[in-house]
């Protein structure tokens, strides 16, 4: 049979068609994939953001609907339900009458955390036609097939993310399964972050979510005064030496950076809507030692939750330091079995840093760096630094604020 191809941010995965009628190629461009990752982390950090995250994944993978359920195993019923592409009436009918009859639940309960399940693992077409859930409930919603990931599996509960497909869309193929396997670690981490926020801060977290980010974040008043800043930004200030933090605002070391910051802050304050929110508000801050620069972005603050918990804030400042440990290092460890040193090296090389520069920055021998690089290639199968860069960028998370 004709093979199938998945392309995700430069990654090509060869698969085989799982049955007749499937597309022979599924192409996922870099920007939609990155937007989906942004939506996952940003949406799960906001009290009402889960539906937007589900919508982004639904559109990326190709499905009619998406749901997130927290299921009480003893009762075999959802205690929390979020949906996208599933109407309120359908969701209520499901919770009231069909949740307990869902034959997919048994398969999901047997999945380990991070495991996937889909229709062929549950029953064949003939059995579906006799099952009340498949034959009575799903047709009302125009649905038929599914692909589900177990985000969390404990003795008490199951947290499941599910994509819902129409009869015309058909069963998921290996292309969709491969893409969902790459998205699942992100969903697990985003859900874990949300759970910790709710546990510590309640449902109305807001600025506390920013404390979990590796990128530096500050909320600024109309004169540039600091209303809030997270721990990461303080660390970046100390490590990079590019700017100092003062209650009245940020003090950059060079006249060029002071001018760029002033222009970006002024543009952010003038931004009147989403269409002009990005005008002249991003700039690079080169390091004096020639190592990769930091990226500094300023945005007009429109997030109502942040504005309510940080009164007086008008502008959000984001600082990304490519040399700091980020989400990608942990994902590389989990996905490919890299050690912490190997994952950190991969992330550093993806910024354009050379092996010699990395050795000097970390205070290790160049031979040690090349040993880590060799082991990274052996574990991942990546053949060049260019491929390494593509893969690291695939799992790196960018933060959007509008």
Q: Is the pLDDT of residue 13 over 70?
A: no
Q: Which residue has the higher pLDDT, 44 or 128?
A: 128
Q: How far apart are CA 59 and CA 396, in angstroms?
A: 20
Alpha-carbon distances, residue 63 vs 292, 375, 379 (angstroms): 40, 38, 33
Average pLDDT score over residue span 103-109: 82
pLDDT value at residue 261: 94
Sign of the alpha-carbon dihedral angle for 225, 228, 232, 234: positive
End-to-end Cα separation, the chain, in angstroms: 45
Confidence at 273, pLDDT banded by 50, 70, 90: very low
Instruction: Please report, rounded to a whole number, the percentage of residues in the chain having pLDDT higher than 70.
Output: 74
Q: How far apart are CA 84 and CA 164, in angstroms?
A: 10
Q: How far apart are CA 153 and CA 113, in angstroms?
A: 5
Q: What is the pLDDT of residues 348-373, one digit of tens each?
A: 887 778 888 888 877 889 899 899 88
Highest-pLDDT range among 3-12, 21-30, 40-49, 252-261:
252-261
Q: Which residue has the higher pLDDT, 397 or 154?
A: 154
pLDDT value at residue 74: 82
If we measure between CA atoms, which residue out of 350, 394, 388, 331 comes closest to residue 179? 394
pLDDT value at residue 209: 60
54-63, 246-255, 340-349, 386-395, range with the lowest pLDDT:
386-395
Average pLDDT score over residue span 288-305: 76
Average pLDDT score over residue span 68-76: 85
pLDDT value at residue 66: 93
CA-based diameter of the chain, in Å? 74
Q: Is the pLDDT of residue 73 over 70?
A: yes
* Residue 372, both tokens: 């880590």
Sign of the alpha-carbon dihedral angle for 201, 204, 206, 209: positive
pLDDT value at residue 159: 93
Q: What is the pLDDT of residues 114-140, one digit of tens each?
A: 899 998 888 889 999 998 888 888 888
Instruction: Please report, rounded to a whole number, the percentage of residues in the chain having pLDDT higher than 90.
Output: 14
If we measure between CA atoms, which residue out of 158, 148, 147, 150 comes closest to residue 188? 150
* Residue 306, both tokens: 């942040």
Confidence at 270, pLDDT banded by 50, 70, 90: confident
Q: How far apart are CA 42 and CA 402, in angstroms?
A: 11
pLDDT value at residue 299: 84
* Residue 192, both tokens: 């874990």
Confidence at 378, pLDDT banded by 50, 70, 90: confident
Q: How far apart are CA 246 and CA 237, in angstroms?
A: 11
Q: What is the pLDDT of residues 332-341, one digit of tens each?
A: 777 778 888 8
DSSP 8-state class, residue 62: T
pLDDT value at residue 175: 87
Whole-number mean pLDDT of the chain? 77
Average pLDDT score over residue span 88-112: 67
Q: Is the pLDDT of residue 401 over 50?
A: no
Highest-pLDDT range among 26-30, 163-167, 236-240, 391-395:
163-167
16-30, 93-107, 176-190, 198-212, range with the lowest pLDDT:
16-30
Q: Is the pLDDT of residue 148 over 90?
A: yes
pLDDT value at residue 399: 35
What domains can be seen in the chain, in order of their start residue?
3-201 (3.30.450.40), 207-320 (3.30.450.20), 327-395 (1.10.10)
pLDDT value at residue 328: 67
Confidence at 280, pLDDT banded by 50, 70, 90: low
Q: Is the pLDDT of residue 307 over 90?
A: no
Highest-pLDDT range among 179-183, 194-198, 275-279:
179-183
Q: Is the pLDDT of residue 55 over 70?
A: yes
3-state secondary structure of 26: strand
3-state secondary structure of 402: coil
Q: Which residue has the higher pLDDT, 302 or 104?
A: 104
Q: Is the pLDDT of residue 208 over 70?
A: no
Q: Is the pLDDT of residue 25 over 70?
A: no
């Amino acid at each position: 049979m004709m093979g199938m191809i998945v392309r995700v941010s430069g990654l090509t995965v060869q698969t085989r068609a799982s049955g007749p009628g499937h597309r022979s190629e599924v192409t996922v461009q870099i920007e939609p994939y990155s937007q989906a990752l942004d939506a996952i982390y940003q949406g799960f950090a906001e009290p009402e953001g889960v539906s937007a995250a589900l919508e982004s994944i639904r559109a990326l993978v190709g499905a009619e609907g998406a749901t997130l359920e927290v299921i009480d195993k003893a009762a075999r019923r959802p205690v929390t339900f979020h949906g996208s592409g599933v109407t309120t009436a359908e969701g209520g009918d499901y919770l009231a009458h069909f949740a307990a009859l869902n034959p997919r639940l048994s398969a999901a309960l047997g999945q380990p955390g991070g495991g996937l399940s889909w229709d062929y693992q549950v029953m064949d077409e003939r059995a579906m036609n006799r099952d009340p859930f498949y034959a009575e409930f799903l047709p009302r919603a125009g649905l038929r097939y599914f692909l589900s990931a177990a985000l969390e599996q404990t003795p008490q509960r199951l947290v499941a993310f599910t994509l819902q497909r129409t009869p015309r869309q058909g069963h998921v193929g290996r292309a969709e399964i491969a893409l969902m396997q790459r998205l699942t670690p992100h969903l697990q981490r985003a859900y874990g972050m949300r759970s910790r926020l709710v546990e510590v801060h309640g449902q109305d977290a807001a600025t506390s979510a920013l404390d979990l980010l590796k990128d530096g974040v500050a909320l600024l008043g109309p004169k540039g005064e600091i209303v809030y800043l997270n721990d990461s930004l303080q660390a970046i200030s100390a490590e990079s030496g590019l700017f100092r933090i003062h209650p009245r605002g940020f003090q950059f070391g060079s006249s060029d950076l002071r001018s760029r910051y002033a222009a970006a802050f002024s543009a952010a304050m003038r931004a009147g809507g989403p269409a002009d929110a990005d005008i002249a508000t991003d700039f690079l801050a080169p390091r004096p030692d020639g190592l990769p620069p930091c990226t500094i972005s300023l945005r007009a603050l429109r997030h109502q939750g942040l504005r309510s918990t940080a009164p007086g804030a008008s502008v959000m400042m984001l600082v990304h330091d490519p040399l700091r440990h980020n989400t990608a290092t942990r994902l590389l460890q989990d996905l490919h079995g890299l050690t912490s040193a190997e994952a950190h090296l991969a992330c550093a090389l993806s910024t354009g840093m050379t092996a010699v520069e990395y050795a000097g920055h970390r205070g290790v021998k160049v031979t040690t760096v090349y040993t880590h690089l060799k082991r990274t290639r052996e574990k991942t199968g990546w053949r060049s630094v260019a491929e390494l860069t593509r893969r690291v960028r695939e799992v790196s998370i960018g933060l959007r604020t509008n």
